[in-house]
Every structure is written in structure tokens, then in C-alpha cells.
Amino acid sequence: MKRFYLFLINILLTIFSFSAANLLTENDPEYYFKKLGEVYLKYPIYGDLKNIPESFENYIHFSMDLKYEDRIIDNFDLSQGWYRSTEINELLFRDFVVENGNLFTFGIKNYYSDYFYAQFIADFRLSDTSYFTYENYSLFDLPSLVYISLDFPTYSYLSYNKEDLSFLVGRVPLSYGPMKYNLVLSDNSPYYDTLAISYSFNDKLDYDFSVLSMVPLLSKEEYAAMDDEFIAFRNAFYNGLNYNPNEKLYLGISSLNQVAGELPNPVNMFIISDVGVYGGYMKIIPFWDINIDNEYAFNYDTNSSGYGLGLSKTFDFEGAKFRIGVERYKIQDNFFSSVYPYDNLYYRTIALSSEPGARIFFDYPFGFKYGEDSKINSVDLTLAFEKGYFNYIWDYGTNSKGIIDSNVFSFLFNTKMGDFEMKWKSLKNGEEKFETFLISYLFEVNFLLP
């Protein structure tokens, strides 16, 4: 009986205070507070360590979204199709589904001491076609199970982070560089299937390497454009070398080499392949903690280039941090695309919807979020606390589909039993526009297994 009571106490303590050495994302309340505290030039960010046991522990995880959405403007329709590729506007509007369409998650979490963590979480949300065709249901009023997306998990991994070495394997977002929308590898894709390794040679020099595996299948039209035999094999390899001589200067060079239709060799993994991108960045903090960021990249197959330039300042208050930032991007045409299907620099995922039925290849640019042939200005205001944040982002300019006007206001706050979120988001790309207001409460529990 005593063991049973101890088990119940452990469960209650776990529900109210569970924390581990996991990766933080923008959906975590403490993400911005930690990020604004120091210079981070890569994503993921590891969370703080609390209540770490001395031995290996297992948890059952469950969360559920209670939400209300008011669709203010709703004139975007995701077209159906079977194994068809997408264009940049469909990816941008798909963010509404990824961010707002959550239903529930279920899975396991485990960790060892303060440096090993693993999780497999099945996250269920509305399918892409269901979200745009009908409305944003919760688990309680879901008309049918066929409305659920089959594209999961989106965030499951095993990680190790200790001293000079860290690695992770699984399905996570990744981004490298100083900009909000990095040019060589950014986190505009909901996830990458990856093996990522980081190693610090000393306190001034470190190296990043990632293998990015994607769906190798092609659409019917793409098959027709192939000149030779199709071999279903497609991976990209990221290499980045970062140098920090002092606290005022950060430099880096990087490459993204894609290998398709054949097995990779060391040359095209680490140096050059048939198609890829070389890039470099510089962050300067000259005075008053003002950050000046610059990034440049070019496609060595098409000779197209792009740049990003940013200026930001963080104000540190007791228990809070406030950041204001402005950025300017320009990406030339053919920076990601090519006539030959396997030379397109897009991370391909596949989403399956049953109601309405669709099998869609979502092709996310490895780099800049708004795609090629784009000129974008971005303003970012963030007020971060230890348990939440306010964030406003305004992006304005043009891309290959026309005028871009994106506004996102988010408020996220952590409570003992979950996260409260309020979000207003509007997006105009060309003639299409979608605008919503969302209030949600993410109820989350983690049960310690005996």
C-alpha cells in the first residue's frame, strides 16, 4: 500500500512539475525568454533542467487542445489531388493548419540524467483539406475520424547534449544562422527527418553536420520530365563551421549539398554535389548590445543568390526581456528551383487527407520561407517572460505569387496544467487571403511509469 501511495504522489508531482532536458520550440512558453538571454545561431535550443532523476525514467504523455477559432477572412481553398506537388503560396497558407489544427497528442517520453532525452509523440491534427473545407474542430465536436491528418509524428526524436558534443536523430525542426528566416537551412518546414551533430573544438570554434532525408517520390508530371531511369533516393547534407573570436563578432560558413538518384560519397556530402547552396553569415554587436546580422547564399548550380540583413536590440528587465528587430531579404529567381525535378532544393513531405481526399507533396524551400524571386521586409517585436511571451511579426513584400502581407500576433502563457494561447494571424499572398483569431488551452499531463 505504501508503494501505491508513493506511486500516486509521483504521478501528481509529474503532472504539475515535469521538466526535462528536451528541445524547445517556438510553441514552448520559455522559448523566447531563453533565446533572448544569449546569442543562439542554431535551432534546436535545449531546455533548462529541473527535477532530473539519477536513473532512466519513462513517462506517458497526453495533451489535448480546447480551442475556439473565428475565421475573419476565409477565401483560400487548398486544391485536392493525388500525388501532386505544391507551390509556395500553398505552403504559406498550410501554416494555419499546422499551428491551429491540433486535436490531441499521445506518446512516451524518457530521459537519463541531465543529458539524454527521447520522445515519440503521435500528434493528431485536422488534415489539410478538412481544415480549409470545413472548420477548425476540437476533439469533442470532430464529425468523423476521417477528418484527422495522417501526417504524424511531426516532433519525435532522441537527443544527447553534454559538454562539447550534442546529437539528435528523429523528426524535428532545424535552422542554422542569425536570421529569422535563414537562407541555407531554415525551420519553415514543420520538421526534418534528420541526424544532426554539433561539436565544439573549443570556446571559439564549432561544427554542425546534418543529414536530411526526404520523400523521394515524384508527381506524374515530374516523372515525365525525367531524362533517365528514376531511382528513389534523395538526401541533403548540411555542413556549418562557426567561429566566435570574441563576444562582439560571430562568423560562419555553410553548405547544403543535395544528392538524388544515387548513393552519396564523401565529396558530395561535405564539399560539392550536383546541386546545392553555399552560404556565409556575420553577426556584429558593436555597441549598446545592438545586433547587426548579415547572411549571403548562392546556388552553385544556377548561380542565383540571396541575402538577408537584420538589425535588432534586446532590452533586459528584471524577469522580462523585450526585443525589437527589423530584417530585409532579397532572393533571386531559380534560387531553389530547376528544370530537372531532382535538382529542386525543396524538402519534400507527403500529407494524406481522406475528407476531402488528397495525396499532396508539400515542398518546403530548404532556405528562405517565402521562396525565390522575393523581396521581403520583416518587423519583429517580442516581450518574453519565464512562463510566456507576447510576439508580433509583420512581413511585407513580394514573392513569385505576388504581394505578401503577413501579420501574426501571439500570446502564450504557461499554467500548471497546460498552456493558454491567443493568436491573431492574417496572410495575403497575391489574390488569396486568410485571417483567423484563435483562443486555445493546451491541457498536458505526463504520467510517470512505475
Assigned C-alpha cell, 58: 519513462
- Cα–Cα distance between 29 and 419 in angstroms, integer? 8
- Cα–Cα distance between 349 and 363 in angstroms, integer? 7
How far, CA to CA in Å, does 440 sit from each of 280, 340, 395, 443? Answer: 40, 44, 24, 9
Strands (E), 163-289: 165-172, 175-176, 192-200, 205-213, 234-246, 249-260, 275-284
Q: How many CB atoms lie within 10 A of CB 263?
A: 9
- In total, the chain counts a number of residues equal to 450
Q: Closest Cα to residue 202, out of 170, 242, 251, 233? A: 242
Q: Which parts of the chain have pLDDT scores under 50?
A: 1-20
Contact 324, 380 (CB under 8 A): yes
The CATH number of domain 1-448, selected from 3.30.310, 2.40.10, 2.40.160, 1.10.1760: 2.40.160
- Which residue type is seen at 29? P
**pLDDT (0 to 100) of residue 5:** 34
DSSP 102-133: EEEEEEEEEEETTTEEEEEEEEEEB-HHHHHH
- Cα–Cα distance between 249 and 415 in angstroms, integer? 38
- Cα–Cα distance between 237 and 259 in angstroms, integer? 8
Domain map of the chain by residue range?
1-448
**pLDDT (0 to 100) of residue 15:** 33
What predicted TM-score, i.e. pTM, was given to this entire model? Answer: 0.91
